[in-house]
Amino acid sequence: MDAEIIAVGSELLLGQIANTNGQFLSRQFAEMGINVFYHTVAGDNAGRLKSAIEAAEKRANLIVFTGGLGPTKDDLTKETISKHLGKKLVYDEAALASIKAYFQKTGREMTENNKKQALILEGSEVLPNDHGMAPGMVLDSNGKSYMLLPGPPKEMNPMFVSYGHKSLMGKLDKHEIIESKVLRFFGIGEALLETRIADLLDGQGNPTIAPLASDGEVTLRITAKNESREKCAELIQQAEKSIMERVGKYYYGEGDTSLIKELVKEMTARGLTIASAESLTGGMFQEQLTTIPGAGKIFKGGVVAYSTEVKEKVLKITPETISSHGVVSMECAGEMAVNIRTMMDADVGISFTGVAGPDEQEGKPVGTVFIGISIGDKKPIIERLNLSGSRAQIRMRSVKYGCRFLIRRLKDLI
């Protein structure tokens, strides 16, 4: 099955938002074994949307629309498809009822334009909207399937997972299975990693190996096709083995994970608690740690010591350390890690101090970063980094390096 995803909305063409719906659906389709050869974005304009539909019909047998199902005048996806396919728009009673219920539940004021959201293409399968008002729908016409989904991700994503996915699985021919596995690497550039595995990339057929660099990390997606799930797993395992032989030392996890998730996993497995003292990262390490439900089991708390005054007064960094070495120093990072651990009565203390930019500090160049790790009564270990990139990149990479250092420390790799 070949799909094309058409995102509808002038806000996309004006650059007010990115097409994250295209990304979400593409990932879902990749896992379902549905090919996606094109994404198209069209504005809130019936004529141009119609021509996008005609182009898609030439190259796909599943056309998925997101956006333009809302209450306002410029929402015209249903209307355009209705005219294009010659199908009537009719009120869906269940949708109308749930729209009314939604307004009662949220206590918001129901306006007339909201009723329009209960209109569906006659003869289509309705996809309920558990997080908003506009229902989605799937219509089969002239040997093609048309799926309409709402634009807001918080409505579209759960609608697809709960109802759209099932509806499509029914249409899929099951002969070929596609399995893929994502391996995540940190601390090596894309070109260098690809050179190290060049022989595998050149020789690839089934499975395929697709590298991708983002946020200072590189991922390799191994994708295998076969009629048997077992054979797919075997093909992936062989490729993975060869990859790890070459660049295994930079590997940190697989699939939908991140360095911070891996850190929480390692800390939880060991029943250890952590506290953090942050300067240049301004609380980013703690903020990311606490995005993960259950982080409360391992995270006690932390101090963001942005001013030197707070480093002395709250974190109790000795004035001598600051006067003789500065706040951006091995010595300061070490004291920060030890003091936050004892202050918060945690098993592990981690600290971040450095120069995020745009200006240098204490004569130290932008990108100079010190990360301190204090475990129990052991002598603290301090890592020095010289990072490049923007202020945001330096802060983000500092947090990632902090996670990697600590994970390795916990595993006694360093």
Stretch 380-399 residues interacting with its own copies (CB under 8 A): 388-393, 395
Q: By rule CB under 8 A, what string of x and - marks binding of each residue 37-76 to its own copies?
A: xxxxxxx-x--x--xx--x---x----------xxxxx--
Q: Does 179 contact its own copies by CB under 8 A?
A: no
Neighbours of 384 (CB within 10 A): 12
**Residue 123 beta carbon to its own copies: minimum distance, rounded to whole angstroms:** 28
Q: How far is the CB of 91 from its own copies (least distance, A)?
A: 18
In this chain, which stretch among 8-16, 118-126, 224-232, 253-261 interacts with its own copies, using CB under 8 A?
8-16
Closer residue to its own copies in complex, CB, 139/299: 299
Interacting residues with its own copies between 354 and 373 (CB under 8 A): 357-358
Per DSSP, the residues of 206-259 read SSEEEEEEETTEEEEEEEEEES-HHHHHHHHHHHHHHHHHHHGGGEEEESS--H
How far apart CA 180 and CA 368 sit, in angstroms, is 38
Among 78, 181, 184, 300, binds its own copies (CB under 8 A): 300
Cα dihedral 262, 265, 271, 273 in deg (nearest 10): 50
Q: Contact, 225 vs 200, CB < 8 A?
A: no
Q: Which of 237, 242, 307, 342 binds its own copies (CB under 8 A)?
A: 307
Shortest spacing between CB 303 and its own copies, in angstroms: 5
Pick from 98, 106, 107, 100: nearest CA to 136: 98
Q: How many residues bind its own copies (CB under 8 A)?
A: 105
- Looking at the Cβ atoms of 169 and 413, the one nearer to its own copies is 169
Question: How far is residue 395's CA from residue 400's CA, in Å, rounded to a whole number?
Answer: 9
| Chain centroid to CA 5 | 19
Rounded to a whole number of angstroms, the minimum distance from the CB of residue 95 to its own copies is 16
- Indicate the SS3 state at residue 355: coil
CB of 237 to its own copies, least distance (A): 20
Residue 144, classified by CB atoms within 10 Å of its CB into exposed (0-12), middle (13-18) or buried (19+), is middle
Paired residues of 352 in beta bridges: 278, 371
Taking only Cα atoms into account, the Rg of the chain, rounded to an integer number of angstroms, comes to 26
Minimum gap (Å) between residue 280 Cβ and its own copies: 8
Longest dimension (CA), the chain: 81
The single residue among 89, 126, 210, 381 that binds its own copies, judged by CB under 8 A, is 210
Which residue in the set 213, 233, 385, 410 belongs to the binding site for its own copies (CB under 8 A)? 213
The torsion angles phi and psi of 290, rounded to 5 degrees, stand at: -85, 0
CA atoms of 184 and 256, how far apart (whole Å): 9
Give the H/E segment covering residue 110: none
Q: Which stretch binds its own copies (CB under 8 A): 22-30, 160-168, 376-384, 402-410?
A: 22-30
- Residue type for position 397: R
Q: Name the residue nearer to its own copies (CB basis): 243 or 284.
A: 284
> Helix axis angle, 259-270 relative to 391-410, nearest 10°?
30
Q: How far is the CB of 407 from its own copies (least distance, A)?
A: 20
Answer yes or no whether residue 101 interacts with its own copies by CB under 8 A: no
Residues 224-263 binding its own copies (CB under 8 A) are none
306 makes contact with its own copies (CB under 8 A): yes
Among 86, 93, 104, 109, binds its own copies (CB under 8 A): 109
Examine residue 326 and tell whether it contacts its own copies (CB under 8 A): no
d(CA 102, CA 107): 8
For residues 124 and 354, which CB has a smaller minimum distance to its own copies in the complex? 354
Query: For its own copies, which is the closer residue by CB, 214 or 379?
Result: 214
* Choice between 50 and 125, CB closer to its own copies: 50
Distance CA 298, CA 347 (A): 9
Within 112-151, which residues bind its own copies (CB under 8 A)?
113-114
Which residue is it, tokens 């709960």?
Answer: 162
343 interacts with its own copies by CB under 8 A: yes
Regarding 293 and contact with its own copies (CB under 8 A), the answer is yes
